Amino acid sequence: MKASLSKSEIKGKVNAPSSKSYTIRGLMCAALAKGESEIVYPLAADDTYAAGRVLAKIGVGLDKSPYIWRVQGGNLQRPFGRLYCGDSAATLRFMTAISSLIPGKVRLTTGESLAQRPLKPLLDALQLLGVQYTAEGGLPPVTVQGGGLKGGYTELPGDISSQYVSALLLAAPLAKETVRIKLTTPLESKPYVLMTIECLNKFGIGLKASEDLQEYEITPQKYHSAKYVVEGDWSSVSYLMALGVAAGEVTVGNLNLSSLQGDRVIMSFLQQMGAYVTGNENTITVKQAKLKAIITDLSDCIDLLPTMAVLAAVAEGTSELHGISRARLKESDRVSALVEGLQKMGVTVREIKDTLIITGSQLQGAVIDAKNDHRIAMAFSILGVIAGNTVIEGAECVGKTYPEFWRVLQSIGGKVKKDGK
């Protein structure tokens, strides 16, 4: 599908979509808990559907209604056939660890883009805990020999993906012995691990973690069913806020202003760039402002890179976005995708190792390849409503995390014409 964008004045009030990360974590914990749990206000999107389908294949009951998903968990069974995780990295990584708890062999497969993203650090860490696996080159597809999570000591790097750590934390309580985890490199995207720990606590799981989140100890224990309420997604909200500051005014509700989500820092980033941002209870308002350049590190909020890159493109001066290496291992190589798209739109941008250097420039319309990456599509929509005459190719990829994005953009004044399926 192509989304054609014309110059637009943005104004309106919308609610944030529910958090993908919390929805998937809630589903996984509910699957491991005996009895019925409720996931309240879940995100209905490609990635969460992928998680639900996989869980259903291992004996987890899932009854969906518009605002509540009821999960019958606690009785994991060997699946018939493969577990297809689509392009949901969280589903693949979490289920790789959880598959170690299921009797027999479990084979996990993925979509094309996820098949190129590394899994070996997690597999090696599981192997130290007694898990056997096969995965050519440490990439999907992977076959896990279940029933073998013995426990003990393991280690893994912390600077490739925080999802590896979260995957181990999800499975560890059901190991036969105490699990001790040590990270061999500093943890990046710490907020996502804190989100996992918060979710575990909601389902009755306790653990010990060092203050710097470099070491963990999890004793054998049971998950308890729970009513789990999913909060709004700050990653998706970043695009709505950017639209407001760049092209009008936006008020966003359904937010937890004290959320553990790392991308909540977008409020601070925008304020540093000179934007008008106010918050009240569960609502924020952002108004158009003349932005100034920013120098910041995105190591703990790497999903904000596309949003910050397009904001830097319209800010006065030269911005430096550091800590971006892991963005090369997402749904696309986001660094390359951003450089390509920004240059097409007339923006001066340089890529130096772990940094993007972007100088605010006069925009021109362009045809942007979204690279089948939801965050690239949504980010360039912001520049599209400023420059006009812009086409996002592969615009349907927003369904991964925010299926309603184009409709919401239209509802707040965005002039969007969708062509094709």
Quote the distance between the C-alpha of residue 189 and its chain's center: 11
Catalytic residue among 47, 303, 369, 373: 303
Nearest-angstrom CA–CA distance, 66 and 245: 32
Sequence letter at residue 262: G
Nearest-angstrom CA–CA distance, 273 and 353: 24
Q: What secondary structure does DSSP assign to 195-207, as a single string? A: HHHHHHHHTT---
Question: Strand order of the sheet with strand 227-229?
Answer: 61-64, 68-73, 35-40, 227-229
Phi, psi (rounded to 5 degrees) for 268? -65, -40
Nearest-angstrom CA–CA distance, 201 and 225: 11
User: Hey, which bits of 172-313 come out as E strands?
Assistant: 179-183, 208-209, 215-218, 227-229, 248-253, 276-280, 283-287, 295-297
Nearest-angstrom CA–CA distance, 88 and 69: 19
Contact 249, 286 (CB under 8 A): yes
Token pair of 252 as six digits = 């966003």
Other C-beta atoms lying within 10 Å of the C-beta of residue 279? 13
Helix, strand, coil proportions of the chain in percent (round to 5)?
Answer: 40, 25, 35
Contact 416, 3 (CB under 8 A): yes
- Going by the DSSP 8-state scheme, the letter that residue 400 receives in this structure is G
Query: In which residue are the tokens 């696996």 written?
Result: 133
Indicate if 303 belongs to the active site: yes
Token pair of 128 as six digits = 């130290």
- Going by the DSSP 8-state scheme, the letter that residue 129 receives in this structure is T
Those residues with Cβ within 8 angstroms of residue 137's Cβ, 6 or more apart along the chain or in another chain: 120
Query: In which residue are the tokens 């190991």 written?
Result: 175
Nearest-angstrom CA–CA distance, 133 and 123: 7
The residues that are catalytic are 303
